[in-house]
Chain A
Amino acid sequence: MNRLNGAVSSRTASAVRDLLLLLVLVGYALSLFAAVGDGAWLKSVPQKDRARPNPLASDRDAAAAGAKLFGQHCAQCHGEDANGSAKRPSLRSEHVKNATPGELQWLLTNGSLRNGMPSWSRLPEPQRWQIVSYLKTLQ
């Protein structure tokens, strides 16, 4: 009987341990999503990238093309209106509003893989600048 009780309590302890581990993992995942939205990535941008101007800034079609690209690649996570969702950050935040074009280009190129933002280096650089042009119209 004691052995049976011991086995049951050992199983209960194991279940509690698994539950705690799960909670820690969920908490960690949520904190990562929070980290994307809090603009922590801005600190990682090298100075030379931060200062890069948008070569398409004077291109009147750039924002329209960027809006189209945004709909194809970004809206699935950030929403058609760029307001984000429960787990994905809004792109109408102060961090994005205040970011330089160079900083946004750097984020699109590198992503923030640890936080769930993929790298968009597969898009040619002019297309990434077009997306930056569109993001700047959201302000």
Chain B
Amino acid sequence: MPIPRLSRTAAVLLLFLLLLPGALARAQETYFVTYSHQMEEPGNLEIATKSVTGSPRGGNPFFAPTLEFEYGVKAWWTSELYLDGQTTANESSVFTGFRLENRFRPLLREHAINPVLYVEFEDINSADKSLLEVVGHDGRQDFLGRNDRSERKREMELKLILSSNLRGWNLSENFIAEKNLAAEPWEFGYALGVSRPLGLKASAKACTLCRENFFAGVELYGGLGDRYTFGLHNTSHYIAPVLRFDVPNGPGFKVSPGFGLNDYSHGALVRFAVSYEIDQVAQRLRRH
């Protein structure tokens, strides 16, 4: 029974870490699908739940939560583990697999455009609905069948992340290539994001609802077909405004309604996330 044991271990770990006094720092990434060149601070662990919910036309409503552990190995290297699950109305609730990703900043200085190399291994099944990225011909029709875990997908995903920070704005572009290791063709996708804090200067007073703690942005993402049918034909695309709020020295919250841009897409998706960042986690564990 590896899955319940894993869940129990994760729950105990989460509880233990949350009990550490004064351990919370700020959460970071504004986007849900797009990555910027922001890396986790070395030694910090971010624990987040990212969820997406939708009601595909002709299918059952679903809710797909993801538990994410992000650790700053080095200032230029961030590693993440995702545990995925989903529940579909009138069907079932299932654990759908895990993802292990690593991001590397090859250039150690800040430039006008900052590249990050992203490598991910996924071991998920065909019931996965987390929609952490959209590639190939992913679309609404994938969610119309009943929950089916029969197909196991071991996939390698590569991303080229390009990101710039200018005058308070972040502009990020991701180019995605994903390969099911079971002899299926490479699939491609993209994600673009732009965001900005609502206040560029911090207030001198301690405050929770100050403008600098709010961030607004918008994401555009979708599939670009596969190696044999590259392009926009039979691909889904979404536009999604994002709003993020960070409690100073506390958790971060973000929400994003997403809208399908063609008939191949889901009509609407709603994403939300809660994240906690625990600073210098290894030192804290040693101290206890």
Contact = CB atoms under 8 A, between A and B. Distances in A.
Nearest to A126: B201
A113 B200 contact: no
Contacts of B28: 122
Interface string B247-288: 011000000000000000000000000000001100000000
Nearest to A130: B202
Range of interface residues on chain A?
20 to 34
A122 B42 contact: no
Contacts of A121: 110, 165
Nearest to A115: B75
B26 to A, nearest CB: 6
B200 A77 contact: no
A110 B280 CA distance: 21
Range of interface residues on chain B?
35 or more
B78 to A, nearest CB: 10
B44 A65 contact: no
A123 B117 CA distance: 22
Contacts of B109: 110
Interface stretch (B33-41, B80-88, B121-129): B33-41
B165 A72 contact: no
A51 B212 CA distance: 28
A61 B44 contact: no
Contacts of B99: none
A120 B109 CA distance: 11
B206 interface: yes
A73 interface: yes
B108 A113 contact: yes
Given A116-B42, A119-B110, A72 B248 contact: yes
A127 interface: yes
Contacts of B204: 61-62, 64-65, 68
A105 to B, nearest CB: 11
Nearest to B170: A122
B175 interface: no
Contacts of A124: 167-168, 197, 200-201
A61 B207 CA distance: 15
Contacts of A118: 39, 41-42, 72, 75
Contact of B206 (A68, A111, A114): A68
B249 A116 contact: no
B201 A65 contact: yes
Interface string A85-122: 00000000000000000000000011111111111011
Interface of B: 25-26, 28, 36, 38-39, 41-44, 72, 74-76, 105, 108-110, 165, 167-168, 170, 197, 200-206, 212, 248-249, 279-280
The 6 A-B residue pairs whose C-beta atoms are closest, nearest first, are A76-B279, A61-B204, A64-B204, A124-B168, A113-B75, A124-B200
